[in-house]
Structure 1
Amino acid sequence: VICNKFIQTSAVTCLLWPAENIIVFGLAEGKVRLANTKSNKSSTIYGTDSYVVSLTSNLSGKGILSGHADGTIVRFFFDDEGSGESQGKLVVHPCPPYALAWASNSIVAAGCDKKIVAYGKEGNVIQSFDYSRDSSEKEFTTAAVSPGGQAVVIGSYDRLRVLNWSPRRNAWEEAKPKEIAHLYTITALAWKRDGSRICVGTLCGGVEQFDCCLRRSVYKNKFEMTYVGPSQVIVKNLSTGTRVVLKSHYGYEIDEVKILGKERYLVAHTSDTLLLGDISSNKLSEVAWQGSGGNEKFFFDNENVCMIFNAGELTLVEYGSNDILGSVRTEFMNPHLVSVRINERRQRGMEVNKRLAYLIDIKTIATVDLVGGYNAGTISHDSKIEWLELNETGHKLLFRDKKMRVRQTHLGERGVQPRTAKERLCLKDARDSSPRNQECA
């Protein structure tokens, strides 16, 4: 069923659908136009006097590039997202840039002169690959950038060339080209959304699909890890078929991915960040993290938050959040001496409730309101504390000392109110049914 029709005055030479309701297309007469599927109307974004040979968008889809027959490359933003980059004529390529791709770190253009050129954000040449002396190479006809923005595939005749961005070298590295005899001229390229495969269309009507990854490994015959780019890894559960895409949003190169915590949680380091993920809920986090030689200790006792001990510091990261929830100094690296509650039971008048209890020293407990970032109270005891736990709302604390005495403390607005275990041991007021509290009771 035809739901929209946009009649144009000249041939549509290239087409792009970057946003939900907006289609962008180039015309033979040199105009770049926009078609709105809701209003069923089209309008001109900008016009040139040169045939539009290629169109591409940035990773967010909020900026477009058009390549023209006279070599001109034009940039336009629907929203520059605060980048401050200029619009309009960006650069004049030596030949018509039929192969044009907007990667995360540069713009890649190629054409009939058998050269691939990478341009910076303002049109300066940052790298060039020259194949003009290679008699087996033909003109470049099309290009496509991976969804992660760190790989570009350029098609020519019987050959695919791949460029991978290296964050460490801050430059493009050429991978071994893929040569297929009798494939003939490659006319179209399209990536799968997760970056694991690429489809190739040919002049003779063929549609070929290629697996595209840097490396692949299998963990304990249960998980398959596919590194589709330096900063993106697909983790697939071989028994259930579920997939999690672990990606550095800052473009940093991911080192080894580990599966910890009863094979439920993902942990990976980059040069400047730490990536964490819950496979079952598909909640992923990336937080700023300075390398410590892999000496961190991770605890996954809490389903909502990861506890990280490193050099006398406890750091909390909530799954699904890209900010560190809280950080405190403590020398006690036992999860039974730390208790975190994250919105586990809703209270009237309190939308967000996040609390932490931990040991300052062997006889002193501190409680922290993680939302406000302040100390909610301190409890001093006369004996060594061996176990502690907050209730679901974070307003009651149960702890046990080395003499096997159990105490309950109410963390109210008027201060700390200790009570003996005989008075409140069953925790009926707290309604806390966690296994650890039941075991203690």
Structure 2
Amino acid sequence: MQLKHLRTLLSPQDGAAKVTCMAWSQNNAKFAVCTVDRVVLLYDEHGERRDKFSTKPADMKYGRKSYMVKGMAFSPDSTKIAIGQTDNIIYVYKIGEDWGDKKVICNKFIQTSAVTCLQWPAEYIIVFGLAEGKVRLANTKTNKSSTIYGTDSYVVSLTTNCSGKGILSGHADGTIVRYFFDDEGSGESQGKLVNHPCPPYALAWATTSIVAAGCDRRIVAYGKEGQVLQTFDYSRDPQEREFTTAAASPGGQSVVLGSYDRLRVLNWSPRKSIWEEAKPKEIANLYTITALAWKRDGSRLCAGTLCGGVEQFDCCLRRSIYKNNTLGG
């Protein structure tokens, strides 16, 4: 797979205006971007902006600038969006099926520390990380939240496997923890899996391995039980900076990692059973990549930047048609 730049969805600003998070809906019809102003912009599948709504603080007395949005995800039915905030709350907005439908808060989950990352892997089940190190579950049916597991280290990243039945959390002390709602017969272990050399802000769970990277400018692919499979070391490359975010393709055969002015692409080679690096996508003045979101059909990848820009890329896969479905990595 290679990345081909398609269009700019949101033009960058002159200074820091970080795109904090982005998400594609499960039905591929909607794409959401949260801006530095805590406004959610909604785009259609063609990249046209169709709608927007403002998020709100946990308590209005602290004002609209009292928090940042750190995590965002669509519900599996694509009609709701969960928003995780640094003022210790998650809001779930019903956005409706049509553009312009009224946005209504249908759930809120108050926490004991800042929400740092968030995923919505299954119906009614939102999984999120906290600054205090806990990974928790919010049930939108019961409106209750509970702790899945606790650590003593800030949760810097959170991702799921392709089926959404397993989660990985990355922590500030380098720990990577795995948890399964259902291991689907794999027999893989749960609990602390790896102690990565730096905080794994860039964390992706592919079909064959777990890919992690951070400020030491090294990408490490770990096996299913935490053994090091491969290392891509850019620590001596004066052009490379820290890795800030990562995303696995929906099929789990490719991983993209964002750094500074650059997206690095790893593709799994089934024949060689190794990760191979494709030609990196380098774009001058893109600056730091702060968010990545892959369209659920695997055809598009969006990258958000420190200066508030959002760029859309075509994922050039070797596609084959099977029973009228397009298959790709």
Task: Give me the TM-score of the superposition, normalised by structure 1.
Answer: 0.50
Residue 245 of structure 1: aligned partner: 326
Written as runs of structure 1 = structure 2, the 5 A alignment for 1:28-43 is 28-43=131-146
Cα distance between partner residues in 2 of 1:74 and 1:145: 18
Match in the other structure for 1:106: 209
1:75 to 2:178 alignment: yes
Amino acid aligned to 2:114: A
1:163 to 266, 269, 289: 266
Question: Relative to 1, partners in 2 of residues 1:234 and 1:35: Cα closer, same or farther, differing over 3 Å?
Answer: farther
From the CA coordinates, give the structure whose radius of gyration is larger: 1
Structure 1 counterpart of 2:154, one-letter code? Y
For the structure 1 residues 43 and 142, does the alpha-carbon distance in structure 2 shift closer, same or farther, using more than 3 Å as the test?
same
Deviations 1:228-267 (A, max 9, x none): xxxxx3689xxxxxx62246xxx9xxxxxxxxxxxxxxxx
Match of 2:122 in 1: 19
1:214 to 1:43, Cα distance in 2 relative to 1, 3 A: same
Equivalences for 1:18-417 in 2 at 5 Å?
18-215=121-318, 227=319, 233=320, 244-246=325-327
State the Cα distance separating 1:194 from its structure 2 match.
Answer: 1.0
Q: Residue 214 of structure 1: CA displacement?
A: 3.4
* Structure 2 unaligned spans of 5+: 1-103
Partner of 2:84 in structure 1?
none
The whole-number CA distance in structure 2 between the counterparts of 1:246 and 1:165 is: 15
Deviation string for 1:400-426 (max 9, x for gaps)?
xxxxxxxxxxxxxxxxxxxxxxxxxxx
Q: Aligned equivalents of 2:321 and 2:239: distance in 1? A: 35
* C-alpha distance in structure 1 between counterparts of 2:151 and 2:251, whole Å: 31
Q: RCO greater where, 1 or 2, for CA within 8 Å and sep 6 or more?
A: 2
- The C-alpha deviation readout for 1:17-51, integer Å capped at 9, x for no partner, is 11121000000000000000111110000000000
Per-residue CA deviation, residues 135-168 of structure 1 (Å, 9 max, x unaligned), is 0100000000001100000000110000000000
What's the CA shift for 1:213? Answer: 1.3
Structure 1: segments with no counterpart, 5+ residues: 216-226, 228-232, 237-242, 252-441
Q: Paired residues, what number?
A: 226
CA distance in 1, matches of 2:258, 2:304: 10
1:96-126 alpha-carbon deviations (Å, 9 max, x no partner): 0000000000000000000000000000001
Q: Aligned partners of 2:235 and 2:249: how far apart in 1?
A: 26
**For residues 234 and 29 of structure 1, what CA distance do their matches in structure 2 show?**
47
Q: Distance in 2 between matches of 1:91 and 1:185?
A: 26
Amino acid at match of 2:180: F
Q: Deviations over 1:353-393 (max 9, x none)?
A: xxxxxxxxxxxxxxxxxxxxxxxxxxxxxxxxxxxxxxxxx
Q: Cα distance, 1:204 vs. partner?
A: 1.1
Q: Deviations over 1:57-92 (max 9, x none)?
A: 001000000000000000000001111111000010
The alignment partner of 1:212 has SS state of strand
Deviations 1:324-375, CA, capped at 9 Å, x for gaps: xxxxxxxxxxxxxxxxxxxxxxxxxxxxxxxxxxxxxxxxxxxxxxxxxxxx
Q: In structure 2, what is the Cα distance between the partners aligned to 1:170 and 1:118?
A: 12
2:316 counterpart SS class: coil
